[in-house]
């Protein structure tokens, strides 16, 4: 009997082991069935920064619309054709599917975690609120690109045809969301650690980022809601970025697959699609701006055979501009490790200079903040002798041409170089500098667009909500102004 029991137990053990082994065959050990919240957060950061950084004309043409660059051969995108490549669809998808969806799922998984150590609940809360700050950042960009967009129902799986929310209402809610996130961040504890590709999990840096984001949100709506702009900016400015060390940057690696998309698209492919636009280079030449060396290469501009005359020369915006004849993007920007840029100290300072001109209490005069912003830009780009530049009559705040909008708008636009959407938005808000008009533009009279039209997929698959949104904003047209663009 004893032998029978032993044999039975041995068979049972063998059967259990076999069952376990057979089950293991059905498990893909290289591809986990559920990705961690930390991994999804890192993926969302990378997708967001890739979208902001890429020069791929299927995804991001804002360096063209900001008139920093122009195209060499195929000029449709510089002339505002966003239909042939369905650029609006691709942009819409990049933010919602590749970034916001990952952030949403990361938050869901992190919220389900069971704390083990005493510090875990605080760390968990920090992670959830950092995710919230990036959600706000993304939705602001979507509004600034399209106007009214899906928001309250955007990530609801039960709402496959989401409604479009009012853009001004979204902005007000985004400010509330930043306030709530900042109130729940505790810099005495950590967050994502190495999974945070921007700040390495440093919560104090995210708090500065959140306050800087508030300044950005506030200044953008200054012409549309001065009261909300004032309270938003004045409650945040002294807790925002204090130096370039605070900049929100994602440092790419020096080799693929995690290299800067500018390198991937323009160096690895050998493509020669872009040169500096005459809009940017002519303005900087007129100011004898030493940042030109950091932005572009020189080219031979001589007209006589055998004579070499090196200078910075931009292609006519929107016109076919042969690559060999005009200034190219500077080599450091083409490097694989050039950082992706989300938000910077000089950007915040320009916003505060504008706020000071609007009568807000932001800890300094418009002139001081303007000078500090230009200084921060020079420092960021590694350019020296900012004092000489600031003393130029055409740059000095008291003597430069035009209103404060022209002075701040022009210098901010220069400083935002490579940040196409921010440069384009600054131009839309302040109407400076004066952009060039292309005779080949797809808009009537060559007028520079004010927004992207809605994706074709939305028009086809979500027609009722699309139609309501188009009506609400005054027509789904590239020349329809956003709610904050009052002048």
pLDDT tens for each residue of 372-420: 999 999 999 999 999 999 999 999 999 999 999 999 999 999 999 999 9
Q: Which has the minimum average pLDDT: 32-46, 160-174, 210-224, 350-364? A: 32-46
pLDDT band at 35 (very low <50, low <70, confident <90, very high): confident
Residue 278 lies in a domain: no
Is residue 18 predicted with pLDDT exceeding 80? no
What's the rounded mean pLDDT across residues 283-309? 94
Domain annotation covers residue 300:
no
Q: Does the residue 325 lie in any domain?
A: no
Residue 307, pLDDT above cutoff 90 = no
What is the rounded CA–CA span in Å between residue 20 and residue 192?
Answer: 35
- Residue 102 confidence (pLDDT): 98
pLDDT at 209 (0 to 100): 99
Q: Please indicate whether residue 228 or residue 8 has the higher confidence score (pLDDT).
A: 228
pLDDT category at 34 given cuts 50, 70, 90 is: low
Q: Is residue 355 part of a domain?
A: yes
Whether 254 is in a domain gets the answer yes
Q: How many domains does the chain have?
A: 1
**Residue 406 within a domain:** yes
pLDDT computed for residue 306 by the predictor: 80
Count, residues in the chain: 487
Question: Is pLDDT of 25 > 60?
Answer: no
Helix axes 120-146 and 101-112, enclosed angle (nearest 10): 160
pLDDT value, residue 219: 98
Residue at 51 is within a domain? yes
SS3 string of 111-157? HHCCCCCCCHHHHHHHHHHHHHHHHHHHHHHHHHHHCCEECCCCCCC
Give the confidence band of 69 by pLDDT, cuts at 50, 70, 90: very high
Q: What percent of the chain is modeled with pLDDT above 70?
A: 93
Does the pLDDT value for residue 81 go beyond 60? Answer: yes
- Model confidence at 13, pLDDT cuts 50, 70, 90, reads very low
Question: 457 lies in a domain?
Answer: yes
Examine the pLDDT at 283 and tell me if it is beyond 80: yes
CATH of the domain at 120: 1.25.40.390
pLDDT band at 12 (very low <50, low <70, confident <90, very high): very low
Q: What is the pLDDT of residues 220-258, one digit of tens each?
A: 999 999 999 999 999 999 999 999 999 999 999 999 999
Range of the domain at 385: 37-261+337-473
Q: What is the pLDDT of residue 334?
A: 98
Confidence of residue 20 (pLDDT cuts 50, 70, 90): very low
């Amino acid at each position: 009997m004893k032998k029978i029991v032993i044999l039975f137990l041995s068979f049972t053990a063998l059967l259990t082991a076999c069952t376990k082994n057979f089950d293991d065959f059905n498990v893909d050990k290289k591809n986990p069935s559920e990705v961690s919240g930390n991994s999804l957060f890192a993926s969302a950061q990378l997708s967001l920064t890739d979208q902001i950084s890429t020069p791929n004309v299927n995804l991001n043409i804002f360096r063209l619309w900001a008139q920093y660059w122009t195209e060499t051969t195929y000029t449709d995108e510089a002339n505002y054709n966003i239909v042939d490549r369905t650029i609006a669809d691709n942009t819409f998808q990049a933010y919602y599917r590749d970034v916001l969806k990952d952030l949403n799922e990361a938050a869901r998984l992190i919220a389900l975690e069971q704390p083990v150590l005493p510090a875990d609940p605080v760390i968990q809360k920090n992670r959830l609120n950092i995710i919230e700050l990036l959600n706000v950042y993304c939705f602001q960009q979507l509004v600034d690109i399209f106007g009214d967009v899906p928001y309250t129902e955007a990530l609801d799986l039960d709402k496959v045809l989401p409604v479009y929310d009012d853009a001004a209402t979204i902005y007000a809610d985004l400010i509330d969301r930043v306030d709530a996130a900042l109130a729940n961040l505790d810099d005495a504890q950590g967050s994502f650690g190495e999974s945070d590709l921007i700040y390495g999990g440093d919560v104090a840096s995210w708090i500065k980022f959140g306050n800087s984001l508030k300044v950005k949100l506030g200044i953008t709506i200054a012409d549309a809601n001065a009261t909300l702009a004032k309270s938003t900016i004045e409650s945040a400015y002294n807790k925002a970025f204090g130096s370039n060390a605070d900049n929100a940057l994602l440092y790419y690696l020096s080799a693929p697959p995690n290299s800067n998309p500018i390198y991937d698209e323009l160096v690895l492919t050998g493509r020669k699609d872009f040169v500096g636009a005459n809009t940017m280079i002519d303005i900087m030449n007129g100011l004898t701006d030493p940042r030109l060396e950091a932005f572009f290469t020189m080219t031979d501009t001589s007209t006589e055979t055998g004579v070499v005359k090196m200078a910075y020369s931009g292609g006519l915006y929107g016109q076919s501009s042969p690559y060999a004849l005009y200034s190219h993007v500077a080599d450091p920007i083409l490097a694989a490790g050039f950082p992706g840029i989300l938000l910077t100290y000089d950007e915040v300072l320009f916003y505060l200079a504008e706020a000071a001109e609007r009568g807000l209490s932001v800890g300094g005069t418009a002139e001081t903040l303007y000078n500090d912003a230009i200084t921060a830009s020079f420092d960021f780009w590694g350019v020296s002798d900012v004092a000489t530049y600031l003393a130029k009559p055409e740059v000095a705040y008291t003597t430069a041409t035009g209103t404060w909008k022209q002075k701040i708008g022009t210098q901010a636009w220069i400083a935002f170089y490579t940040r196409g959407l921010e440069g384009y938005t600054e131009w839309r808000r302040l109407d400076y500098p004066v952009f060039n008009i292309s005779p080949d533009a797809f808009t009537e009279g060559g007028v520079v667009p004010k927004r992207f039209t809605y994706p074709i997929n939305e028009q086809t698959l979500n027609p009722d909500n699309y139609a309501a949104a188009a009506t609400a904003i005054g027509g789904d047209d590239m020349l329809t102004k956003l709610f904050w663009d009052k002048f």
